[in-house]
Amino acid sequence: MKKMFYSITTLEPLIITQNSDDPTMYETLQYIRGTVIQGIFAQYYIKANQTADNEFTRLIVSGDCVFSNAYPSIGDQIYFPAPFSIVRKKYPPKAGADNGLKKEKALDLLVVKTDDQTKGISQLITINSGEVSPITIPKEIRLHNEIDDQKRTTKERILFNYQSLPAGMIFKGFISIKDEKDESRMKSLFPQNTEIRMGRSATSEYGKVKFNWIDQEQENAKPEGEVILTLLSDTIIYNDKGFSSLLQNDFENYLEDSKILESLSRKARIEGFLNIWKLRKPSENVFAAGSSFLLDKLPANADYVLNYGLGERTQEGYGQVSFSIQKPAVFEYDYVEFKKQTISKPLVMPGLTKEILTEAFYNRKKEEVIGHALRDADATHPKIESNHLLGKLKAMAFSPGVFKGFLDNLRQTAKSHLTKSYVGNKNLEEHFRGIISGEIKIYTSDPNVDISRFDNELKGIYFEQFLNQLRRKNKTHE
């Protein structure tokens, strides 16, 4: 048995949908489900082999490979669902005049009782060196139009929102294999730095991620005496009739030679969708992630449970457990509020996002150029009174190259009109040539947005607006 650890870095916003009470809002989970990872491997296996053969069934479907959930990670710390037994005091200590601000405490109700009022921790957390620290993920919400699939146009007044995880996040998970010979087979499907798409709307501006295999320290189950089993993902337990159960006795049947002394758990209900059937999977009652169980000793099958999960459908990410996150001897922690996460800039800006940003920036620059042209025309003195010359110049304004060629071949009589008229300290011929060469800036640039491909177009707009304004001035004068 072996665990292969991986990391997923989001290059675009990511949506891992969950059930929502609002029909106009598609909400996202804060982690990547094991079923999503399983589906990606299934997709790439079929793509590489052009078939779903017996090996596909063994590796992807039957359970020879277990695909865990992938949870957010910062540095070496992985954030997992907060155990329900770890709570904060409802009224934390206040600052004192002599001792400064006291640290807020978190208690583990599985091993200690308290008369104080408490409140739970609903976020993902990490526990390290006696500290409990939650993570707050800055989710993004974007408005979209629904698309008419036949006409490929937007439906009027039909709007919905996508809630997404931001680009730049890192998630870590693992794949457990029963036969180490399968390691090279699985890794061949995803070489290092493979860019893939996952989640909802992965064909548009969402879901682009980078997949990497990584080295990660593996948890070893060696504690003696009482231990705490913590569920890191929802866990499906069957009774002897083959139905999902929430009874402690049925849960205990999955632990060899170990008894539950205390527990603090919650139930949840899951259901899935099997795309190949276009049908929902049967719903199941489950022990929710974050449920904790105090055991009299480490189960005899602890190593197997750590690697392959507890309960049913573990190959889909259900039944992930830990025996080391909570310790019976530790009943109090320092609660450290999460410091705002600095999410690194994604390595690749999403293509559609880049186009939208460029188009918006171009429209702003177009307005800036038009304003610049009108101000320069008003400042031109003396005015050029030959509308015929202005009309000829305007006809050449569509291309700076053509415009320059026209200036080069302009007769001296016509050119004298330009050399006698000034904008600032330059006559019009010098002014026009300065704009064509780029010496005179007609719009401000931005290091984050490249609109160099629009440079000639913007210069043409400038010349057209400038000459139009001079002709208007002449007509007004007449």
The predicted-structure confidence for 375-396, as pLDDT tens digits, reads as follows 888 888 888 878 888 888 888 8
Fold classified for 227-322: Immunoglobulin-like (2.60.40)
The yes-or-no verdict on residue 28 having pLDDT over 80 is yes
Across 56-70, 76-90, 297-311, 347-361, least confident range? 347-361
Give me the percent of the chain exceeding a pLDDT of 90.
35
* Higher-scoring residue by pLDDT: 233, 218: 233
How many beta carbons lie within 10 A of that of residue 41, not counting itself? 18
The yes-or-no verdict on residue 180 having pLDDT over 60 is yes
d(CA 271, CA 422): 75
Fold classified for 2-78+142-219: Alpha-Beta Plaits (3.30.70)
Burial class of residue 104, CB neighbours in 10 A (0-12, 13-18, 19+) = middle
Which are the contacts of 443, defined by CB distance < 8 A and separation ≥ 6? 365, 368, 369, 372, 458
Give the mean pLDDT of the chain.
85
Task: Evaluate whether 183 touches 169 at the Cβ level (below 8 Å).
Answer: no
pLDDT at 100: 47
CA atoms within 13 A on the CB side of 195: 10
Token pair listed for 123: 């976020």
Domain boundaries, the chain: 2-78+142-219, 227-322, 351-477
153 pLDDT tier (thresholds 50, 70, 90): low
Token pair listed for 35: 């079923």
HEC string for 276-306: CCCEECCCEEEECCCCEEEECCCCCCHHHHH
pLDDT at 321: 95
Across 120-124, 168-172, 219-223, least confident range? 219-223
Q: What's the sign of the alpha-carbon dihedral 393, 395, 396, 398? A: positive
Token pair listed for 327: 């310790």
Burial class of residue 23, CB neighbours in 10 A (0-12, 13-18, 19+) = exposed
97 pLDDT tier (thresholds 50, 70, 90): very low
pLDDT at 286: 94
d(CA 221, CA 305): 10
Across 121-135, 269-283, 344-358, least confident range? 344-358
Hey, which bits of 193-307 come out as E strands? 194-197, 208-214, 227-231, 260-264, 267-270, 273-274, 279-280, 284-287, 292-295
The yes-or-no verdict on residue 80 having pLDDT over 60 is yes
The yes-or-no verdict on residue 425 having pLDDT over 90 is no
What is the model's pTM?
0.68
336: left (phi over 0), alpha (psi -120 to 50) or beta: beta
